Every structure is written in structure tokens, then in C-alpha cells.
Amino acid sequence: MRWSYVAPRLTLLVLLWAFFFFAFDPLLKWGMIKGIEKAAKAKAEIAELETGFFPPRLKMAGLAVGDSSAEFTNVVEFAELSFAAEGKPLLEKKLVVEEGTLKGLRFGTPRKTSAKLPFVKEEEEESRLAAAMSAEAKNFALDRVGDVKTDLSADYKVEPGDLESVKLAKELEESYTANYAGLAEKFDDGKYKADMDALKARYEKAKGEKNFIKQAKEYADIAKDAKKVMDAFKKDKAAAEAALAEAKGAFKKLEEARRRDQAAVMAKMKLPSLDTRSIGRMLAGPMIAEKTEQLMKWMAIAKKYMPAGTKGVLKNEAPRGREVHFPKEKTYPTVLIKKLQLTGELGLDQPLDYSGTIEGLTTQPQVYGRPTIAAIKGAKGPRRLDFRGSLDATGDLIRTDSRLSYSGMAIGAMSLGSPSSLSVAINGATGALEASAATEGDKVSGKAAFRLTGASFKPSAENIKAAQLRSAVESSFAGLTSALIEADISGTVTKPELSVRTDLADNLSKAFSSAMGAELKKAQDAAKAKVDEALKPYKDRLDSMASEKQAELSNKLKASGDRLSAEGESLLKGSSGRSPLDKLKF
């Protein structure tokens, strides 16, 4: 035995044990803090971390992760996380936990020290949806409604150059001309004529061939080549027609732009809409958009860290030799927490205690083959919380499905609408939220209903100069104690679309209509007519050019097709029924 080799290794083993006994936990804690800080871009703290080897276990206490956008707030914190890993999967470098415990999970808690990290760039992401809704609410100005009676639209001039639809019509005209030139160039019928002439020449030559076998072979080749020419023609023809259809489809955008122009002109004229949806968006849109943006932001973060849809380790191939795989009695994902018991608090002022479980948390859902399911319940006094959610990443697309019911919420004070147009202060309400949402890949769909009861509504209508309208708005909220706000969400996680409804909007619409609905409608129609009038010459020119070019190209395609067919037939007739060319039909 070479003791000079063995002895140092034994010493190394002793040192290794000493390392794990004395230094492993502090180093792991430091590494985890750095990892979390890198991901959260804010400071993170772990009060205590303890590991054990027999059985392999981890206990982490006092974790707090700062919010990169709010210096003295924690995004998340918990009191204790503990779990014991199964030994057998660890030998395959897999962390499998039968049951873990997470206690005291809270969100958005205040922190005493700054969460800012040095040298971290602040990312100011503008909330597009919330900004658009706020602008809509702000533009829903009622200050000049009283002027509609004096025919406000008569003094408003529409400049064609400023209209989005006119700009688009000009762009379409230019691009259509360029695209048509490209199509005409691509569709070069001279090329097919030359090919067909060459085939005819070959056919004439083959007719003189005395060797029957050679002649039959040449006929067969000519038939094949003729088919190729016709196939190429058909392919180009289909491409040209598809390009034409695509160009025509672009014209639909013009109609959308026209609608936007009409809305913009009305906003510039400061004419409010009588449509309950528009009023609903003005009132509840900014609040819902803000909440939706927050939800989408969390979903985007979750998606970023969600496991990829591959089976990972199962695709390992050796650089040398071949790997032969055998049936595996049990395949473990790299990380799996089968069940996590969860307790925590929701809200800061009057925290609601909740508890629940999350089952099937894993980094490799396709290997695990089951979705992650969360079920959380909470109750305190009249408040009730019930959340159920599932995340299925076992297929090609990640699917989520969640339902939330939260009733008995005490709403201290909240405000709807915009102070620059019309805002409504709501006090002393009790809220109940019922929401469901589902995602499939990037697509999102969901609905939410928020009911307010026992509330007092106080409209702030100082900006409305027309006394008649102001009074109608104020009286529409008088004696009101409840309201229902509903929202539907669709679109994608990165670009959600919202549809907002509220019975408060119905009240307001009635108030607008009774006060000065007829005059308002007249002014709006006049605004629409002005946009149409400005756009008409450009639209007519575009329509006429498109029709003319389309007819021209269609005629060209038909003529070329007819000529090729005729030449093909003549080629076939000349073969006297002896060759495979007979079978060819153009």
C-alpha cells in the first residue's frame, strides 16, 4: 500500500468533515443571500440557516427579500422554512422533499433598513395599461359639455395631415405600389414561355428518335419537366394571390385607424361618451389596470423562473460510445417538494391569517408528470379567503387555472375615476371579490367581480361647468350604498386587454342622457363626419388604385395560365397518343 498516497486522503476526509461541521452552513447562507439578491435586485436577509446530513435537512429562519422599487419594503418575508430531503434521490443528485413547512409568509411588509443594493440600475418600467387607462379617464373631460349646445363641433377644424388614418392611407399607397412592382417582377411569365418552348423543341427532337425505348424515356422526361414547369407556375401564382390578399388585409387597419381618429377628435373637443363601457373604463379602469399590471408583472416573473418544457436529464448522450437505457422504477425530478404546508398573513393593517398547501413544486414538471396545486384558506371575523390554483407545465404549453374568493374586506376609503374629469370617493364599504383566471402559454383570460356594499359615494363634480349636468351627476350617486365592478381580461401576459363594467356607469350614463344627451350625440356625429370627410379623398384613391392593380395582376395571371395550358395541350396532341404526355392535364 502506498501510504504516502492514502494518508493525505484520509486527512482530507477529516478536513472535509470539519468543513461541513463548521463552515458549510455560513457559506450556504451567504451563497443563498447573494443568489436571492441577484434575482431580486434588492437586499435580502436570512437570520438563520441550519443543515443536517442524517437525514439530509434544511431549516431557514427569518428570510426577508427587499423590494427593488420600494426602498423600505419587503417583497416577501417568512418566519421559517424547513424540510427534510429523501436520501435515495440525493444519490442521483435529486432533491426530493416529502413534506416541507413554510411559516409566516407575508408580502409587502415594511423594513427598517434600505433594500437598495449598490451599483444596481433602477428599471423604471412604465405601466402601459395603467397609463392608457389613466389617460382615458383624464381625457374623459366634462368641463365643456355645456358648450355642446352652442355647436362646439362647428368651430373645430380637422387637419387631414394630423389624422392617423390619413397618414396610414398614404403609407399603404406607397407600400402597395412597391409591393405590386415586386409581385409583377416575381411573376415573370416570360420565364415559363421560354421553358415551354424548350420542352417543345425537345419533343420535336424526340419524335425523330428511332429507338423506341429511348423515345419513350424522353417522352416521360418531357412529361416530368412539363409538370415541373406547371407546378412552378402554380406556386408563383398562389404566392402572388396570397400577397395580394395580404395587401388587402392591411386595408382593415385603415378602418381601425379611422375609429381611433374619431375618438381622438372627440377627446380633443372634450366630448364625453354616453356609452356605459367608456364611462365604466373612466371610473374603474385605472384601479383595475393597476391591479392587473401588478398581477401580470408577478406572472411574468413566475414565468421567467418556470421550468423549461424539456425532460432535461433524460436527454443526456455520451460523447463516447452509446448509452443503453433501462426501465427506471422511479424517475425523480431534479428538485421536488411533494407537499408544502403554508401559513402566513395577508394585508398589513388588519392581517388575515391563512393556511394551506402547495403540492408538487418541482423544477421538472414533465418528469414529475403532475401539476402544481395550491389551496389556501383564511378566515378572521367576517372575512373569508379561499384560493385554489393549479399550474400545469407537464405539456408543451404551460397552463394555469386559479380562482379567488375574498369576502368581508373592510374598504377604508377608495377613489374611482380621475380628479381632472370626474372622481368618486367611496367610504365605509365592505368588499367582496370573486375572480378567476386562466393562462395557456402567453394567452390569458379571466374575469373578476368586485362588489361594494354599505358604502357612501361622494362624486367630485367641480370640473363640470354645466350646472344641469353637475346636478344630474351628483343626484345619480345620492342614496347609493352598493356598487358592482366587473372586469374581463384577455390578450397576453405581456399585453393584457381589459373590459370594465360597473353599474355606477349605468347611473352616470342615465344622468348624462337626461341632462344633455341629444346635443351630445349630435356633436359626436358631426365629429365623425369631419374625420370621414378628411379621409375620403385618400381612401378613394387607395381603393381605386388597389382595384385597378388587382384586376391587372389577375388578368395577367389568367392570360399566362391560359397560354401555358394551350401550349401544353398542343404538345400532348402532337404525341399521337403514344407517350405518357397523354396523361398530363394542365
Partner 1 sequence: MNPLSLIRQFIKGLTAETTPGQIGAGIALGFLIGLMPKATLTAQLLIVVMMASKVNLPMAVFAVAIVSLLNPFIDKVTDPVGYALLTAEALRPLWTKLYNTPVFPWTGFNNTVVPGGLVFGAVMLAPVYLGGKKFGAYYNDKLRARVMNSKFVKGLKASWLFDWYFREGV
Q: Which residue ranges make up the site for partner 1 (CB under 8 A)?
A: 1-2, 5-6, 8, 88, 91-92, 318-330
The nearer residue to partner 1, 3 or 119, going by C-beta atoms, is: 3
The nearer residue to partner 1, 249 or 327, going by C-beta atoms, is: 327
Q: How far is the CB of 319 from partner 1 (least distance, A)?
A: 8
Cis peptide, bond prior to residue 89, ω within 30 of zero: no
Cis peptide, bond prior to residue 371, ω within 30 of zero: no
Q: How far is the CB of 1 from partner 1 (least distance, A)?
A: 7
The nearer residue to partner 1, 8 or 55, going by C-beta atoms, is: 8
Helix (H) or strand (E) holding 507: helix 503-574
Residue 299's Cβ-side half-sphere holds a number of Cα atoms within 13 Å equal to: 26
Alpha-helical regions (H) of 338-447: 365-368
Nearest to 524 by CA among 139, 148, 143: 148
Beta bridge partners of 413: 427
The 3-state DSSP class for residue 478 equals coil
- For the CA atoms of 305, 308, 309, 311, the dihedral, rounded to the nearest 10 degrees, stands at -120
Residue 465's Cβ-side half-sphere holds a number of Cα atoms within 13 Å equal to: 8
Q: How far is the CB of 321 from partner 1 (least distance, A)?
A: 3
What are the grid coordinates assigned to 242, written together?
396570397
The nearer residue to partner 1, 7 or 245, going by C-beta atoms, is: 7
Q: How far is the CB of 11 from partner 1 (least distance, A)?
A: 12
The nearer residue to partner 1, 335 or 379, going by C-beta atoms, is: 335
How many angstroms separate the Cα of 64 from the Cα of each of 34, 57, 58, 87, 106? 13, 21, 17, 29, 9
Strand 443-453 with 399-418, pairing = unpaired
Report the alpha-carbon distance of residue 63 to residue 79 in Å, rounded: 7
The nearer residue to partner 1, 330 or 583, going by C-beta atoms, is: 330
- For the CA atoms of 432, 438, 444, 445, the dihedral, rounded to the nearest 10 degrees, stands at -60
Q: How far is the CB of 317 from partner 1 (least distance, A)?
A: 10
Report the alpha-carbon distance of residue 443 to residue 399 in Å, rounded: 9
Nearest to 539 by CA among 158, 168, 161: 168
Q: How far apart are the first and last CA of the chain?
A: 88
The nearer residue to partner 1, 154 or 318, going by C-beta atoms, is: 318
Q: How far is the CB of 327 from partner 1 (least distance, A)?
A: 6
The nearer residue to partner 1, 7 or 198, going by C-beta atoms, is: 7
Whether residue 459 contacts residue 508, with contact meaning beta carbons closer than 8 Å, is answered with no
The nearer residue to partner 1, 96 or 247, going by C-beta atoms, is: 96
The nearer residue to partner 1, 10 or 302, going by C-beta atoms, is: 10
Report the alpha-carbon distance of residue 71 to residue 5 in Å, rounded: 55
The 3-state DSSP class for residue 153 equals helix
Q: How far is the CB of 314 from partner 1 (least distance, A)?
A: 13
The nearer residue to partner 1, 96 or 152, going by C-beta atoms, is: 96
Beta-carbon contacts of residue 366 (< 8 Å; ≥ 6 apart): 309, 310, 311, 393, 394
